[in-house]
C-alpha cells in the first residue's frame, strides 16, 4: 500500500469506511498509519516490549507468510508498536531527501514500500476485529484501528509529504502507465483532502475526520455486539423444520433462543406460523442498536455536511461521488428515478398479489404487516410454483457447494486450488493455495471461514488481507484474501444445508476472492478489487448468473443423503419459473435503500433520519416504516458506502453486460473465462474501468442485458453506459 493508498484510506475515513470494512459485500482491511494518542485501559498493552520480528502466530507457506497475526492480547500490542515505529522511520528517511534530488523511485516508490510494509505487518491484527473468537483480541483490534486512524489523518495532512510529491511532479520525469497514474492520483487525493486550505480550516477538517472515523467504528461495533434474542417454547415453532429447531441454542428451562443472526432470523420470519412471535422478533431486529446508533447517524450526517462545505462542495454526495464512475449525484438520481418509474407498476401488482394471500387468512386485512411479509411471500411462492425452499435446500450441502464452486471457477479461469494447513484463528477455517493451471505458477491464497461463532462478523464478505504488488526485486507479492460467512451449522442429524439464495451468495463472494487474488497490478493502490466503488460489485454480480444454469447446478448439487442424486429437473424448472418472483419489489427495495443513502448525503441542513426515510418510502410507493422502529440504525452501509449504495444497482448494468458474452459464447467457455480473467480481474484499476469493460466486450457497454435481468423490454440508451449514467 502506497501513500496514495494512505490518501485513499484517509478519504475512506471521510466516507466512513471502518478500518476493517471496505464494503458490506467486499471487505478490505486498510491499515494506514500509526497514532500517537493513548488507547485508554485497552492500550496498556502497547507498553510491552516489541519482539524483534514484530510478528507472532504467523501462518507460513513457502518463503512468505500467508497471513501474519499476533495470537495474544499483548502480542498484538507489541507487534503493532514495532510496525508503527518502522513505518514512521521509513517515512522520515524519505522526507530527509533534498528537494532537488527527489525522483519517482526514491520518493513515490519508497513511500509506497513503507506504507505497504506497515499494512502487511498490521492487517492480520486488524482482521481479528471481525473473526477472532477471543473478545479481548477483538477489543485490542478495535483499539489498533483507532490508533492507526490517528496518524492516517495526521500523515494525510502533512504539507511536507504533499510537497514531496509535488517536487517529483515538477521535475517532469517521463512516467507512463501505473507510475503516471499513481503520482497523479496521489496529488489529486491530497488536494481532495483539503491541502492548500488555510491552517485553521485544515485543523477543523482533521478534527472532523477523526470524529467521523471514531463514529463509524462505534456504529459498526454497536451492531456487531447486538446479542438480542427471542426465547420461545419449542411447541410454539410450528412451521419450522425440525433440523432448524434442533440447531437453536437451548436454555436451562427447556426453551430455545431465536437470535437475530441471519441463519436463525431468516427461516423464522419465512416459516414460523405464529404471527405474534414474528412481530416480536421483527421489532427486535428493526431496532438493533437504535439507542446507540441513531444519535451517531445524526452526528455523522451533520459532520459530513460541514466537511463538504470546507472542501468547497455543494454537498457531501457531490464530494463522494466525484471520484466514482457516476461522477455526480444528479446522474445517480436520474438513474434511480428511471428505475423507480420502470419498476413501480410491477411492484404494485406484486404487492396486491401478496395482500390477496394475506386476506385468505384475514379477509379484513388492509395491508401486509412488515413481520408477515416473509411468511406470506414464502407461502405464495410455494402455492404459485409449488416450490419449497426447504426441499431445494436438501440438495445443497455446504461441502458440496464449496467443492463444486471451486471446480467451476478453476475450469473457467484457468487456475487450480489446493488445500494446505491453515494455522488460522479458528479450527474450522480452511486455507487454499492458488496456482495457474497452465504453468503451475503460484498466484496466492484464500481462507474460507464459513460458520458462525460469537463475536464474528455476521454476514458474508470477502476480506482482502494482502494485496498483490510488484516487489523491488521484480517478483510479485502474492495476494491473500478470506471469505467470512455464516452458513447454518450442521446438526447431529444432518450436515449444513444451504438455501439456493445462499448458494448464489457464496458464488458471488467467491467472485470477489478471485478479483482480489488474480490481480497483476503493480501497485496495491490499483490491485484486485480496489476499483471504483460503483464498479466493485460488477464482477461478483456477474457470477451470480451461473448458479441458474442447469449444467452449473448439476455440479453444485447432490442430496445430502445420496450425493449422486442431483437437483431434479422438475425442481429446477420450478426454481426457474419462480426466479423473478417479486423481482420488481426486490429491485424497488434496492432503489429505496440507494435513494435513502443518497438523500441523506445530498441534504445541506438538519436531517431527521426517520422523517427522510418515511418520505422516500412514500414517494416510492412502499409501505411506511413500522412506528417505533429505526431501520437506519442497523443499515451499516450508511457508514461504509456514504452516498455510494447506488453502486449495487449501477454495477449490475455492467455485470449483466459482461455475462452477455458468456451467454453468447458459452458459460463454460475457457477462452471467454481467460479473457475475463485478463481484462477484468487481473487489471484492477490499473486502467480505467470503462477501458477494461470495452476490452472484454469488444464494444462500448450497454444496458440491454440489464433490462432483460429486470424483466423489462430491451432498449438501447442514448449514450454508452460506460460514459453516461446507466439507464434502466
> Which of 640, 648, 657, 650 has its CA nearest to residue 692?
657
Q: Which of 7-11, 70-74, 88-92, 444-448 has the lowest mean pLDDT?
A: 7-11
Quick one: pLDDT band at residue 714, thresholds 50, 70, 90?
A: low
For domain 3-194, the question of CATH label 3.30.1330.90 is answered with no
Mean pLDDT for the stretch of residues 64-78 = 74
What does the pLDDT read at residue 63? 31
What does the pLDDT read at residue 276? 97
What CATH number was assigned to the domain covering residues 398-577?
A: 3.40.390.10
Q: Which of 117-126, 549-558, 676-685 has the lowest mean pLDDT?
A: 117-126
What does the pLDDT read at residue 339? 92
Contact 702, 695 (CB under 8 A): no
CA distances for 553 relative to 391, 401, 538, 546, 573, angstroms:
15, 9, 22, 8, 12
* Nearest 10 degrees: Cα torsion 117, 122, 124, 128: -160
Quick one: pLDDT band at residue 57, thresholds 50, 70, 90?
A: very low
What does the pLDDT read at residue 712? 76
Catalytic residue list: 509
Question: What residue ranges do the domains of the chain occupy?
Answer: 3-194, 229-287, 398-577
pLDDT in tens, 227-265: 899 999 999 999 999 989 999 999 999 999 999 988 899
pLDDT in tens, 142-181: 888 888 888 787 888 889 999 999 999 999 999 999 999 9
Question: How far, in Å, CA of 411 to CA of 413, rounded?
Answer: 6
What does the pLDDT read at residue 420? 93
Quick one: pLDDT band at residue 715, thresholds 50, 70, 90?
A: low
Q: What is the largest CA-CA distance in the chain?
A: 83
> Which of 30, 18, 25, 124 has its CA nearest to residue 512?
25
3-state SS string for 50-111: CCCCCCCCCEEECCEEEECCCCCHHHHHHHHHHHHHHHHHHHHHHHCCCHHHCCHHHHHHHH
pLDDT in tens, 383-394: 999 988 889 999
Neighbouring CB atoms inside 10 A of 36's CB total 10
Q: What is residue 491's three-state secondary structure?
A: coil
More confident residue, 455 or 229: 229
pLDDT in tens, 610-653: 999 999 999 999 999 999 999 999 999 999 889 999 999 999 99
Mean pLDDT for the stretch of residues 687-701 = 94
Q: Which of 102-106, 426-430, 655-659, 715-719 has the lowest mean pLDDT?
A: 715-719
pLDDT in tens, 19-36: 222 222 223 332 222 222
Cell of 245: 429447531
Contact 18, 157 (CB under 8 A): no
Question: How far, in Å, CA of 121 to CA of 573, rounded?
Answer: 51
CA distances for 300 relative to 30, 113, 635, angstroms:
21, 33, 14
What does the pLDDT read at residue 45? 36
CA distances for 120 relative to 55, 318, 346, 412, 629, angstroms:
10, 33, 49, 30, 41
Quick one: pLDDT band at residue 100, thresholds 50, 70, 90?
A: very high
What does the pLDDT read at residue 271? 96
- Return mean pLDDT, the chain: 87
pLDDT at 90 over 70: yes
pLDDT in tens, 303-343: 999 999 999 999 999 999 998 999 999 999 999 999 999 99
Quick one: pLDDT band at residue 54, thresholds 50, 70, 90?
A: very low
Q: What is the DSSP letter of 462?
A: E
pLDDT at 380 over 90: yes
The predicted model scores a pTM of 0.80
Q: Which of 411-415, 485-489, 504-508 has the lowest mean pLDDT?
A: 485-489
Rg of the chain over all Cα atoms, to the nearest angstrom: 25
pLDDT at 670 over 50: yes
More confident residue, 713 or 119: 119
* Nearest 10 degrees: Cα torsion 137, 141, 144, 149: -170
Amino acid at each position: 500500500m502506497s501513500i496514495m493508498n494512505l490518501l485513499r484510506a484517509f478519504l475512506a475515513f471521510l466516507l466512513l469506511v471502518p478500518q476493517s470494512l471496505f464494503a458490506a459485500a467486499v471487505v478490505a482491511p486498510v491499515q494506514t498509519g500509526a497514532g500517537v494518542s493513548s488507547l485508554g485501559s485497552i492500550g496498556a498493552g502497547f507498553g510491552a516490549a516489541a519482539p524483534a520480528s514484530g510478528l507472532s502466530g504467523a501462518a507460513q507457506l513457502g518463503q512468505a507468510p500467508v497471513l501474519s497475526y499476533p495470537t495474544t492480547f499483548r502480542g498484538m500490542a507489541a507487534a503493532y508498536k514495532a510496525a508503527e515505529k518502522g513505518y514512521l522511520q521509513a517515512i522520515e528517511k524519505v522526507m530527509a531527501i533534498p528537494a532537488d534530488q527527489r525522483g519517482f523511485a526514491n520518493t513515490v516508490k519508497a513511500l509506497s514500500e513503507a506504507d505497504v510494509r506497515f499494512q502487511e505487518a498490521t492487517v492480520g491484527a486488524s482482521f481479528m476485529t471481525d473473526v477472532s473468537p477471543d473478545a479481548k483480541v477483538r477489543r485490542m483490534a478495535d483499539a489498533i484501528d483507532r490508533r492507526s486512524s490517528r496518524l492516517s489523518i495526521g500523515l494525510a495532512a502533512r504539507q511536507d509529504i504533499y510537497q514531496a510529491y509535488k517536487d517529483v511532479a515538477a521535475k517532469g520525469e517521463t512516467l507512463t502507465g501505473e507510475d503516471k497514474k499513481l503520482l497523479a492520483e496521489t496529488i489529486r487525493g491530497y488536494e481532495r483532502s483539503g491541502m492548500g486550505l488555510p491552517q485553521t480550516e485544515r485543523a477543523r477538517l482533521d478534527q472532523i475526520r477523526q470524529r467521523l472515523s471514531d463514529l463509524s467504528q462505534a456504529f459498526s461495533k454497536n451492531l456487531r455486539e447486538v446479542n438480542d434474542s427471542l426465547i420461545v417454547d419449542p411447541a410454539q415453532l410450528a412451521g419450522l423444520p425440525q433440523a432448524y429447531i434442533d440447531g437453536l441454542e437451548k436454555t436451562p428451562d427447556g426453551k430455545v433462543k431465536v437470535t437475530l443472526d441471519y441463519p436463525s432470523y431468516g427461516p423464522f420470519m419465512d416459516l414460523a406460523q405464529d404471527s405474534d412471535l414474528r412481530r416480536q422478533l421483527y421489532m427486535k431486529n428493526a431496532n438493533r442498536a437504535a439507542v446507540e446508533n441513531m444519535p451517531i447517524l445524526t452526528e455523522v450526517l451533520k459532520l459530513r455536511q460541514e466537511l463538504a462545505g470546507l472542501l468547497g462542495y455543494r454537498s457531501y454526495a457531490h464530494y463522494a461521488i466525484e471520484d466514482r464512475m457516476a461522477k455526480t449525484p444528479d446522474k445517480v438520481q436520474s438513474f434511480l428515478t428511471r428505475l423507480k418509474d420502470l419498476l413501480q407498476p410491477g411492484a404494485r401488482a406484486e404487492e396486491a398479489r401478496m395482500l390477496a394471500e394475506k386476506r385468505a387468512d384475514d379477509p379484513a386485512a388492509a395491508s401486509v404487516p412488515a413481520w408477515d411479509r416473509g411468511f406470506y411471500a414464502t407461502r405464495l411462492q410455494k402455492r404459485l410454483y409449488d416450490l419449497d425452499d426447504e426441499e431445494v435446500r436438501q440438495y445443497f450441502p455446504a461441502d458440496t457447494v464449496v467443492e463444486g464452486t471451486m471446480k467451476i471457477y478453476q475450469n473457467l479461469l484457468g487456475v487450480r486450488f489446493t488445500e494446505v494447513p491453515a494455522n488460522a484463528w479458528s479450527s474450522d477455517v480452511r486455507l487454499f493455495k492458488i496456482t495457474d493451471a497452465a504453468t503451475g505458477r503460484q498466484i496466492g491464497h484464500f481462507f474460507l471461514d464459513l460458520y458462525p461463532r460469537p463475536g464474528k462478523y455476521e454476514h458474508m464478505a470477502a476480506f482482502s488481507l494482502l494485496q498483490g504488488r510488484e516487489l523491488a526485486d521484480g517478483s510479485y507479492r502474492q495476494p491473500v484474501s478470506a471469505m467470512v460467512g455464516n452458513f447454518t451449522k450442521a446438526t447431529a442429524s444432518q450436515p449444513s444445508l444451504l438455501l439456493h439464495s445462499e448458494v448464489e451468495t457464496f458464488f458471488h463472494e467467491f467472485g470477489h476472492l478471485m478479483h482480489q487474488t488474480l490481480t497483476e497490478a503493480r501497485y496495491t493502490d490499483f490491485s484486485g478489487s480496489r476499483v471504483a466503488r460503483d464498479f466493485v460489485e460488477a464482477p461478483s454480480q456477474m457470477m451470480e448468473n451461473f448458479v441458474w444454469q442447469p449444467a452449473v447446478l448439476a455440479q453444485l448439487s447432490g442430496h445430502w443423503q445420496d450425493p449422486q442424486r442431483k437437483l431434479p429437473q422438475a425442481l429446477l424448472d420450478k426454481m426457474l419459473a419462480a426466479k423473478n418472483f417479486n423481482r420488481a419489489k426486490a429491485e424497488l427495495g434496492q432503489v429505496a435503500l440507494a435513494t435513502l443513502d443518497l438523500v441523506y448525503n445530498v441534504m445541506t441542513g438538519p436531517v431527521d433520519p426517520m422523517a427522510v426515510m418515511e418520505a422516500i418510502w412514500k414517494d416510492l410507493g412502499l409501505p411506511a416504516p413500522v412506528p417505533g422502529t429505526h431501520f437506519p440504525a442497523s443499515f451499516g452501509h450508511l457508514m461504509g458506502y456514504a452516498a455510494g449504495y447506488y453502486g449495487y444497482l449501477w454495477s449490475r448494468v455492467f455485470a449483466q453486460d459482461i455475462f452477455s458474452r458468456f451467454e453468447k459464447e458459452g458459460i463454460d467457455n475457457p477462452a471467454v473465462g481467460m479473457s475475463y480473467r485478463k481484462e477484468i480481474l487481473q487489471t484492477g484499476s490499473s486502467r480505467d474501468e470503462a477501458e477494461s469493460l470495452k476490452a472484454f466486450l469488444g464494444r462500448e457497454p450497454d444496458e440491454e442485458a440489464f433490462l432483460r435481468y429486470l424483466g423489462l423490454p430491451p432498449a438501447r440508451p442514448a449514450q454508452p453506459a460506460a460514459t453516461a449514467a446507466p439507464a434502466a
